[in-house]
Structure formats: C-alpha cells, structure tokens
Chain A
Amino acid sequence: MSFYFVQFVTGLSSACSLFLVASGLSIIFGVTRVVNFAHGAFYMLGAYIGYTLTDRLSGVVGFWGAIALGALAVAAIGTLIEMLLLRRIYDAPELFQLLATFGVTLVVEDLVLLIWGPSELLGPRAPGFTGAIDLFGQPFPTYDLLLIALAPLVLAFLWLLFRRTTWGVLVRAATQDREMVAALGVNQKWLFTSVFALGVFLAGLGGALELPREAANHTMDLQVITEALVVVVIGGLGSVPGTFLAAIIVSELNAFGILVFPKISIVLVFLVMAIVLIVRPWGLLGRAEAAARAASGMVLSRWRPLRAEGRLFAVLALAVAALLPLVAGSYLVGVATEVLIFMLYAASLHFLLAGGGLASFGHAAYFGLGSYGAAIALKACGLGMETAIVAGTVLGLVGALVFGWFCVRLSGVYFAMLTLAFAQIAWSIAYQWTDVTGGDNGIIGVWPSAWAASPARFYWLTLALSAGGIALLRAITFSPFGYALRALRDSTLRAETIGIERRRVQWMGFVIAGAFAALAGALYAFLKGSVFPDNISISLSIDGLVMVLLGGVGTVSGGIVGAAIYRSLSIWVISHTDYSKLVLGALIVLLVVLFPKGLVGAFEAWRSVRTLAGLHRQNP
C-alpha cells in the first residue's frame, strides 16, 4: 500500500514541470492561436542553460538565482524568435506557424548538440533539498516534495496574474476575440510578444527545475512536447486550471501505468486522451470553440482538372522519370525511389489536408501501419511481396477506418491532436509489442521478390504505383465525392444543409488518405529492407505536413512538389553534414517566411499576377 502511495507522490512531483510547460503552451495557443511546437525545445534549453548557469554562477547568484536566470534567458530567446519569426507569419494559415516552430525545434536540437555535446549532463542538487525523507517506510527525495508544493503556487500566481492585472484581463479578452481587442485600441503585437515571453519562460523554468531530478539530454524536447500537447488537450486549450488537472492525471497515468500495464504504459496516456476527446471534445475544463469561419482567400486559383497541356506535361514528366535508371547509378535510383514514395505519402496527406481541410498531425500512423503490415505479412505469414504490399495497404486502411471514425467527430486543433494521439498509440504498439514487431530492433530482411529486386526494377514498380496512386487521388478530388469533401472544407454548415453527411464523407476521405499513405509505407519497407518504429514517429508525421505546406495548401497537388524538394533536400543534407537538423530547420523557417503560401502557391500567385497584368495590357 505504502509503495503505491509513494508512486502516487512521485507522479505528483513529475506533474510540476509538465504543468509549467503545458500551461505555457496553453496560454500561447489561447492568445496567438499558434501551436508552439518549439515549446519542448525551450524546455530543453531551460535545462541546458540552467546546467551551465548553475555550474558557473552558483557562487554569485546562488542555485535558485541561476535557475531563474536560466529561465529568463530562455524567455529572451523565445521573445526574439517571436519578434523575428512569428510576427511575420501570424496571418499565414494556422499550420504554418506549427511548421515554423518545428523548424526552430530542429535548429535548437542541433545547436544544443554543438554547444553542450552529445553526452547527458547531470545538474547539481538543489541546496537544502539534497536528501530524502521517510515516507511510509520508503525514502522520498525532498526536492520532489518541493516541486509538489511549487506547482499549486505557480497555478495561483498565474490565476492572480490573469484575474487581477490589466494585462491579464487583456490576455483573457484576446483569447476570446483578438480582433475586437485590437478594435478597442490594444496593440496586439506587444500583447502577443509578452504572452509568448511568459509562456516560454514557464517552459524554460520547467526545464531548469528538472535538472536536479534528471540529466539534461537530447530527447527531452520531443518527449515533453508530446506529453504537454496531450495535457493541454485533456485539460482544455487555453484553460490553466484544466492544464493543472490534466498534468496531474497524465503524470499519475505514467506513474501507475508502468506498474499495472508495463507493456502498454505509453498507450495508456494516449488512450485516456482519446477517450476524453470523444466524451468532452474541448477538454475537461475547456470550452467549446465557436465554429471557425471558413478560411476565405486561401485558394488562389480555382481548382481544375489538368487540361491538355497539363496532361501532356504529366506524361512527359513520367516518361523522363521512367528513363532515369538508364542514365543514373543505383544510389541515385534508390534516392529517386524514396522521393517517389514520399510524393505518394505527401499526396495522400495533401488530399486530406488541402482537399478535406483536415489537418492530421498523425498521418505517419498509416504509413507505418503499411510498413508493418507488409513486413509482418512477408516475414511472419510467409506471403510474397505482391500480397504483402496489398496486406500493408489493407492494414493501413483498416487502421484509418478505426481511428478515423473517432477523429472525424472533432475538428480543428482537436482533430489534429486526436490524430496525433492515435499515431502515438500506433507507435507505442510498434515499440512495445516486441513479439510481433520486434520493438526497437524492428523487422529486418524485408526484400522485394526476385523480379523486382534490382534497384531499377523496384524503382519502376514504385513509379507505377506512386504515379497511379497520385493520379487516383486527383481523380477522386475531382469526383462528386471530392466536391462534397471540399464543400465541407469551405463551409461545413452550408454543405450539411444541402444534404452532405459530414462525418461519413470526412471519414471516407480519411480512409482514402490513410490507404494511400499505407501503400507508400509498404513500398518504403521493401525499399529499405526493414521496418522500425521510426516509420510511425511524430517527425515523420510532421515531415508530411512540411511537404504539403511547402508545396502549398491552396493548391490541388502542391504536396507532390513539396515532397520532391523536401525529401531530396533532406537526403542530400543528411549525407553532406553532421548538422542536418540545423540546416533543414533553418531552411524550413526561411521558406515559411519567404513563401507563406507554399512554393507552388507562390508560383500560382506570381502567374495570376502576370495574367492580370496581361489582361490589363490588352484592355487598358
């Protein structure tokens, strides 16, 4: 019994840092509508900067002074990023800000590696809190008790800040209606900046306060951002008390999950999140969001099926692509195969995101299911490559069928978070169900049948399937079903009143997108000869979003172009530098700032301006 109590108290102490990070994330989202993916990176920076400052300055400002300075330094970095980067893109589509902050995360990860080196750094103990007390016969660190006391204090501080200060009232008003706040004379710029600074300060503080508990390391950013997103969603976006409650729930689930279900401890948290989202879609203490107005002016030029010259171009491009193995070596053919696979993956997400307006943060789930389905069919069931690819696709389709049924009950950010949760569940299963998936060791020896074994032949097979898949997705986009999907995207209410059944249509869209992603995943398994949990990782989901947004959400199939550019670039960068994340992250940030409409979007805008200018010349 006492053991369980100690486990409970340990859970409470973990909740402190999680609450700090998640509340910062929640406050920032509430006002700026930015899902700040870089929040985990700021948390990690808090730990590393805190490490250096406690190491160098403890003699001058003391341990606590150094921790506070560390958090302030992180807040300063965050403020700089907000002013230089986010301010430029607040008007861009919501996902763009996620993309930019993802880029920042990549940059920070490599900078931390450059500055502090690859090894874990164990920070100093807090003076006066180095020992342990006896708790029901079990030793319990006094520092953890301090953290347990700190969390409610921070909650109280935030509550007072938001209830008792003018700034807090403005923040609450802006959370509800920021345009109206501007129309009452409040300068949003500084309100946003100050909110961002506070949120990042909390993340930095959370990271610095973890130092005496666990060593600063390179995976803490992604680990905490995932948990913080879950906490924010369970608690209700924008609700600080909800975040507090959810931080405790999630930490306790982690603490007890390990004991009760050691095999599926990670799944547990996401399962609870999924249940909360289905029962109370806006979180425990959040409130239902007013239906967002349809994004107007996003689509630059009307979506049309390819005309004669477009078709000709596509056929020519295909012909050129088919000739590649005749001139290129097997390395290049391998790279090209990978690019083709990711074009199909991106096209499937593009179909869902641009066509359906459904921003999935967990599209890698279906890619990964495709990979695992194919690998398991081949290795465990002894089926051939051809059947295995079909099996993988079917597994992804079934996964999308099940997960999608839940997801389409939500919309907007909550939809995104639920898709992320399901992807994490799929990832945990792959990671923890070692008997079937091999866990971290993955499944190896997934090679194509003899007839497709050479790089060139496998390339042609991939070309045929990817091009066919992309063509099919386009055909669906311009079918009556595609029109219904797009109608729901543009105006859910109007579409529903003319008899389009939202959930069914969006569910089908979800399943179609999932099936094509799974096909890409199955091909990828055979290209690499192996399958790992990485095939379902968050970063693969985000990669998908990067490719689509890079191509342009307002376009019919910009994702294909985005995938070709991004994937080739990342393969090239990874093979040419040890700091590929730094380069890619900086590149993403740069592209987001320069082309907020995506590359294809920018091209279309440029073309339409030219066309308009041409019209003016003809009829002055």
Chain B
Amino acid sequence: MSVSKLSVAQLDAAYGQAQVLFDVSLEIGAGEAVALLGRNGAGKSTTFRAILGLIARPTGRIVFDGEDISKCPPHEIVRRGLGYVPEDRRIFSDLTVEENLLVGRQPPRPNAPTWTPERLFAIFPNLRELRGRAGARMSGGEQQMLTIARTLMGNPSLLLLDEPSEGLAPRIVEQMIEAIREMKREGLSLLLSEQNLPFARLVAERVYVIEKGAIRFVGTVAEFDAQPDVRHAYLAF
C-alpha cells in the first residue's frame, strides 16, 4: 500500500438511538481496489453512507487525500473526488439516461481520470442506445451501469461501489467486472462492498470483513483464502 487515499479511523454511526457501526477503521491506498465483505445487514452500506455523511457519524476520523472530511456535508465530499454508487441504484426514473449523467457531472480534476458521456458509452455500450430513454424504462442491469456511469461523471479519484453485482444476470456481471477493471486501469481507487466472493476476488487486492457493524478481518486476498474459518464465521459461504 503506497500513499493513503482514504483513511477511516474508529468510526461509529447510529440510526436514531440504535448504534450500527462500532469502531470501524479502513485504509485504502492510492490506486488500490479493496473489497468490504459481509452478510446482509452486516453494515456495509452503512459504512459507505457514514463515510459520505449521509447518516450521522458522531465519532471517528475520516481522512480523504490528506484532509479531514468527517465534518463535511455529502456534496462537499463528493466534490473533493469521492464518488458513491448506492446499492439500490437510485436512478432518477423521470430523467433520461443523458439527463441522469448530467446530474452527476463535476469539473475534471488533476488526480483522477476524466469521463465524458462518450467515454462512458465505450465502457457501457448498452447505455449508448438508451441515451434518450427514461430511467424508469430500463432493466436492472442497465440501471446498474447507469448508476456507475452517473457517479463517474463526477470524475472521482476514489469510488465507493455498494454491491455492484447484486441481482445481476451472469452475463451482465462479466461486463461489470470488465468495466471495473477498466476503471482500475485508469488509476481509480476502489472500495467495493460485496457478498459475491468470486466477484470480489476478481477485482480486489485486499479484503475487509465486516459483521454486526465491526471489522472482523483485514488482509490480502491470499491471506483471506488461507483462513477458511473467517469465511465460515462471518460470511454466508
């Protein structure tokens, strides 16, 4: 791990009075792809939402590109180059594909790849034909591609991808893997949450395992594979 891209230290988070994250710490190096593994309800999405400031995070330090962002509102964090792709896609269904992309647009930044609709259509060819179509009239796989493309329009240097393979047909999953590899080649750092272990293995170098809102394992993919008990204890496979 070279220069730190994102460093999360001792993060707690709560929905109302129910605490859901306990002392979560994460490190992502520049250009690195990291997988956050865990069961349904383990706290993956909450971790992402807390990093972005979408839920209250009373404690913890979040440093992105050397600056503390733990007090910043979501839009400021995104404008610093931290892109977020939600699990439930949240396509603007009244808007066309092109309009959806427009909402995500941010100025280019020096330390990150610059994306245009044309370049994104090259990675996600399906979207090119649908550019004038309303988000409501798209399949799940198409929506998943659109939600990633939309976030890339913000030219992030780090991408938080929440369960990108969830509910997708195998053929689409393959396209997704190819797309993620393309992003990595462009120099994008990645933190993706997954339940799909083979998928995570194909794209990530390091692994965090989360269970009941706390980190239970940190290591490389090889180290993770060497400890099947971790897998049995905290994951459903």
Residues of A within 8 A of B (CB): 166, 169-170, 172-173, 175-177, 179-188, 296-297
Given contacts A170-B103, A296-B15, contact A183 B92 (CB under 8 A): no
A184 CB contact (under 8 Å) in B15, B16, B154: B154
Which one of A176, A177, A184, A296 contacts B78 once the chains associate, using CB atoms below 8 Å? A184
Contact A169 B95 (CB under 8 A): yes
Query: A97 CB to closest chain B CB, in angstroms?
Result: 20
Provide the residues of chain B in CB contact with A175, threshold 8 Å: 94
Complex CA–CA separation, A150 to B17 (angstroms) = 53
Among B73, B86, B92, which residue has its beta carbon within 8 angstroms of that of A173? B92
Most buried by B among A172, A177, A184: A184
B124 at the interface (CB under 8 A from A): no
B99 touches A169 (CB 8 A): yes
Known: A183-B52, A183-B54, A184-B103. A176 touches B75 (CB 8 A): no
Q: Which residue of B lies closest to A163 (CB)?
A: B99
Sample (9) of A-B pairs whose CB atoms are under 8 Å apart: A169-B103, A176-B93, A176-B95, A180-B86, A182-B54, A185-B75, A185-B154, A187-B75, A297-B15
B14 to chain A, nearest CB (A): 9
How many angstroms between the C-alpha atoms of A184 and B105 in the bound complex? 8
Chain B residues 83-128 with CB under 8 Å of chain A are 84, 86, 90, 92-95, 99-100, 102-106
B79: interface (CB < 8 Å) = yes
B78 CB contacts on chain A under 8 angstroms: 182-185
Q: What class of interface size applies to chain B in its complex with A? A: 20 to 34
Find out whether the CB atom of B79 lies under 8 angstroms from the CB atom of A185.
yes
- B15 close to A173 (CB less than 8 A): no
A contacts with B: majority SS: helix
Given contacts A183-B86, A185-B104, contact A172 B95 (CB under 8 A): yes
B103 adjacent to A297 (CB under 8 Å): no
Residues of B bordering A, CB below 8 Å: 15-17, 52, 54, 73-75, 78-79, 84, 86, 90, 92-95, 99-100, 102-106, 150-151, 154
Task: Indicate if the CB atoms of B17 and A182 lie closer than 8 Å.
Answer: no
Which chain B residue shows the least CB distance to A300? B17
B75 engages A186 (CB within 8 Å): yes
Report chain A residues within 8 Å CB of B74. Answer: 179, 182-183
Chain A residues with CB below 8 A from B100, complex form: 173
- Which 3 A-B pairs have CB atoms at the shortest separation, nearest pair first? A297-B16, A185-B78, A180-B90
Q: Bound complex: CA of A166 vs CA of B103, how far in Å?
A: 8
Establish whether residues A184 and B94, one from each chain, have CB atoms under 8 Å apart when the complex forms.
Answer: no
B16 touches A296 (CB 8 A): yes
In the assembly, what is the distance between CA of A486 and CA of B100, in Å? Answer: 39
Contact check, A184 vs B150: say whether CB atoms are below 8 A apart. yes
A47 to chain B, nearest CB (A): 34
CB-CB under 8 A from A296, the residues of chain B are 15-16
Residues of A within 8 A of B95 (CB): 169, 172-173, 176
Contact of A180 among B17, B92, B94, B102 (CB under 8 A): B92
Residues on B with beta carbons closer than 8 Å to the beta carbon of A179: 54, 74
Asked whether A297 lies within 8 Å of B94 as measured between CB atoms, the reply is no
Q: Determine the residue in chain A with the shortest Cβ distance to B154.
A: A185
Q: How far is the CB of B137 from chain A (nearest CB, A)?
A: 14
